[in-house]
Amino acid sequence: MADLERHKRLTAADRDTLGKQLEKAYAAGRSLAELGEEHGTSAGRVRLILLERGVTLRSRGGAVRKPDPARGERAKVLAKEYADGASLQELASKHGVSATTARSLVQAGGGALRARGGRRAAAPKA
């Protein structure tokens, strides 16, 4: 049972046969989209057939990112530069990131954010 006609009703026997094939392939790691394309139907229809069979579907989202060890060092550098008076926009330009990312890195590096409105005033010279 390779290709299904679009909107064609399946007999109970055909649906059971297809369901077994889909269940086995899904358990082996195939995606709903891959199975739908292989069988000439939509991922949504594959999903419904699997749910009818009581299959627990995997969560969506793809691969999980691995922690980036260099991010911690980068965050410390940005936090220090920020504490030394650089603005978030200056950090963003210098390091090739968005201002939002610069802000996140400063916070991740242990930096305390200043109030909005400009640079911190330089300490008076004695």
Two tokens, residue 122: 């330089």
* Residue 111, SS3 per DSSP: coil
The pLDDT tens digits for 33-61 are 999 999 888 899 999 999 999 999 988 76
Rounded to two decimals, the pTM is: 0.47
Q: Which CATH class is domain 1-59?
A: mainly alpha
Q: What distance in Å separates the CA atoms of residue 75 and residue 89, rounded to the nearest whole number?
A: 15
Query: Does 81 score more than 80 pLDDT?
Result: yes
Block residue for tokens 């709903």: 32
